[in-house]
């Protein structure tokens, strides 16, 4: 049974469609819907007394196993509702955590989901316990003088600390991998976007990788990185990662730090928008909000309007591209528009390169090789005074070459 609260009529249709999709992603089938505008949530049951009675009747009429509230419930509200409705009561955060728990396969993913679940549970546990459970014995598990509640709380805290320690190691090793890749001259881009926008499909189309694609939400949890060669001989490392959703629970964002650092550490972002979705603008805004939470909203963004093969009117794509400078319209599925995407990616990577001219003395000739490794060499000439070189280089390499740079290149000579 789906319960919508606090939504304005405008957004109703979209909010409902999204919750149904989330529900299905969690393996549940919605059997009914109930709506209520709540200006001031009741501290006991969130919705008013009359609504609780109406809900009880409908839940038992249609035989629902659970009532799913599209909001955050605190522990007291959740317990009271479960008692009054005589069924499981789930809030939005719990639903999303459930989907993530089902999708987590890697060690990193599982650790992060468990951490999110436990940090979600900890503040709720006092209210979840009945008076009896708070006192009942847990012989052998408790320390002296501890109640069951205290000992359970302690065990959850211990587990949270252990998970955080393990995840710190995961982050360190991801950091080391990134540092190793950083030695390469190529920029890093993270493919971000709303869940199901087609990020993994785009990744596969670009790199020939075989990241699992699924019409269900949150198919991808673990990041995958692939090097993609661009038409100008340059390359970019693309990372396909977890999708976002409106009001992504903060527990998840905090717990998925190791994974999401791939996004905040990249040079630029490829934002995939499902242009065939009636509410693509709402989704685009939700992604930008999440990026702001990750401190990644200042990064350069290449917007990709995807699923153009599904558009009834091609003018929609032209309008969207015209309104967003530097954006492209594609179909990751059919491959339509991918050359334009490649050109846009080339323009983006060039913005990370500095054009320079240098004369490298022969006793420093290893720098010549490094120019090839850390950028694009446009022209080389061996003269008496040294190797004259014209190149576009990553910032780090420009620094190393500094003593020998004769002049920065102007744009028309690139
Ligand atoms: N018609 C059409 N369908 C597409 C296109 N791109 C992706 N899809 C479909 O959209 C669904 C989701 O695609 P994914 O690539 O898994 O999306 P994602 O953004 O990686 O989703 P999550 O990993 O779940 O966040 C799949 O059923 C794809 O086949 C496209 O350009 N056109
Ligand atoms: Mg995916």
- Mean pLDDT on 267-276: 97
Residue 216: nearest ligand to its CA?
A: 1
* Whether residue 243 has its Cβ less than 6 Å from ligand 1: yes
* Whether residue 219 has its Cβ less than 6 Å from ligand 1: yes
What are the helix (H) ranges across 32-124? 49-62, 75-85, 92-103, 107-121
Residue entry with tokens 């028309």: 412
Classified as helix, coil or strand, 326 is coil
Q: How many CA atoms lie within 13 A of 286 on its CB side?
A: 21
Indicate the burial class of 252 (C-beta count within 10 angstroms; 0-12, 13-18, 19 or more).
Answer: buried
Q: Cα(271) to centroid of ligand 1, in Å?
A: 14
Determine the pLDDT at residue 387.
95
Is residue 146 pLDDT above 50, yes or no? yes
Instruction: Please check whether the domain covering 353-413 is classified as CATH 1.10.1220.
Output: no
* Whether residue 241 has its Cβ less than 6 Å from ligand 1: no
Identify which of 98, 97, 29, 96 has the alpha carbon closest to the alpha carbon of residue 66: 29
Determine the pLDDT at residue 414.
44
Contact (CB, 8 A) for 211 and 204: yes
Q: Cα(191) to centroid of ligand 1, in Å?
A: 13
What's the pLDDT tens digit per position in 128-138? 665 555 555 55
* Whether residue 67 has its Cβ less than 6 Å from ligand 1: no
Q: Cα(13) to centroid of ligand 2, in Å?
A: 25
Pairing of strands 386-394, 353-360: antiparallel
d(CA 368, CA 381): 11
d(CA 157, CA 191): 34
Specify the length of the chain in residues: 414
| CATH (residue range 185-350) | 3.40.50.300
What's the pLDDT tens digit per position in 193-250? 999 999 999 999 999 988 999 998 999 998 999 999 988 777 899 999 999 998 888 8
Pairing of strands 224-229, 188-193: unpaired
What's the pLDDT tens digit per position in 354-379? 889 999 999 998 999 888 877 788 99
Q: Which CATH class is domain 2-99?
A: alpha beta
Q: Which ligand 1 atom is at minimum distance from the Cα of 201?
A: 15
Instruction: List the domain boundaries for the chain.
Output: 2-99, 105-170, 185-350, 353-413
Q: Which ligand 1 atom is at minimum distance from the Cα of 219?
A: 24
pTM of the model: 0.86
Identify which of 158, 170, 168 has the alpha carbon closest to the alpha carbon of residue 108: 170
C-alpha distance across the termini of the chain, in Å: 62
Q: Cα(280) to centroid of ligand 1, in Å?
A: 14
Protein residue with its CA nearest to atom 16 in ligand 1: 213
Fold identical between 2-99 and 185-350? yes
DSSP 8-state class, residue 298: T
Q: Cα(310) to centroid of ligand 1, in Å?
A: 12
- Mean pLDDT on 39-66: 92
* Whether residue 204 has its Cβ less than 6 Å from ligand 1: no
Token digits of residue 152: 């359970």
- pLDDT, the chain, mean: 88
């Amino acid at each position: 049974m789906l319960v919508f609260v606090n939504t304005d009529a405008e957004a109703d249709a979209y909010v409902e469609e999204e919750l149904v999709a989330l529900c299905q992603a969690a393996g549940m089938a919605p059997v009914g819907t109930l709506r209520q505008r709540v200006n001031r949530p009741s501290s006991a049951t969130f919705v008013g007394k009359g609504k609780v009675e109406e809900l009880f009747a409908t839940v038992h009429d249609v035989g629902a196993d659970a009532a799913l509230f599209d909001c955050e419930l605190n522990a007291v509200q959740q317990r009271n509702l479960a008692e009054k409705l005589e069924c499981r009561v789930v809030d939005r955060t719990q639903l999303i955590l459930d989907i993530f728990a089902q999708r987590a396969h890697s060690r990193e993913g599982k650790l992060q989901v468990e951490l999110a679940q436990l940090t979600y549970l900890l503040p709720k546990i006092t209210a979840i316990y009945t008076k009896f459970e708070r006192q009942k014995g847990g012989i052998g598990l408790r320390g002296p003088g501890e109640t069951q509640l205290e000992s359970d709380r302690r065990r959850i805290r211990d587990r949270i600390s252990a998970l955080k320690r393990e995840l710190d190691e995961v982050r360190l090793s991801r950091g080391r991998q990134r540092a190793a890749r950083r030695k390469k001259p190529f920029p890093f881009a993270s493919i971000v976007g709303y869940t199901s926008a087609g990020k993994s499909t785009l990744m596969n189309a670009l790199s020939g990788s075989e990241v699992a694609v699924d019409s269900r939400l949150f198919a991808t949890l673990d990041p995958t990185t692939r090097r993609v060669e661009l038409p100008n001989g340059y390359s970019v490392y693309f990372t396909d990662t977890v999708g976002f959703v409106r009001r992504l629970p903060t527990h998840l964002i905090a717990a998925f730090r190791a994974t999401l650092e791939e996004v905040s550490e990249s040079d630029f972002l490829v934002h995939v928008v499902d242009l065939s979705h009636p509410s693509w603008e709402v989704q685009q805004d939700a992604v930008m909000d999440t990026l702001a939470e990750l401190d990644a909203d200042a990064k350069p963004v290449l917007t990709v309007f995807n699923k153009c093969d599904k558009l009834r009117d091609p003018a929609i794509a032209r309008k969207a591209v015209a309104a967003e400078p530097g954006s492209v319209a594609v179909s990751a599925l059919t491959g339509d528009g991918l050359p334009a995407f490649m050109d846009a990616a080339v323009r983006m990577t060039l913005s990370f390169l500095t054009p320079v001219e240098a004369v490298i003395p022969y006793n420093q000739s290893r720098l010549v090789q490094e120019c090839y490794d850390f950028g694009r060499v446009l022209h080389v000439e061996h003269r008496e005074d040294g190797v004259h070189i014209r190149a576009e280089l990553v910032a780090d390499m420009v620094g190393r070459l500094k003593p020998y740079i004769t002049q920065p290149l102007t744009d028309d000579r690139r």
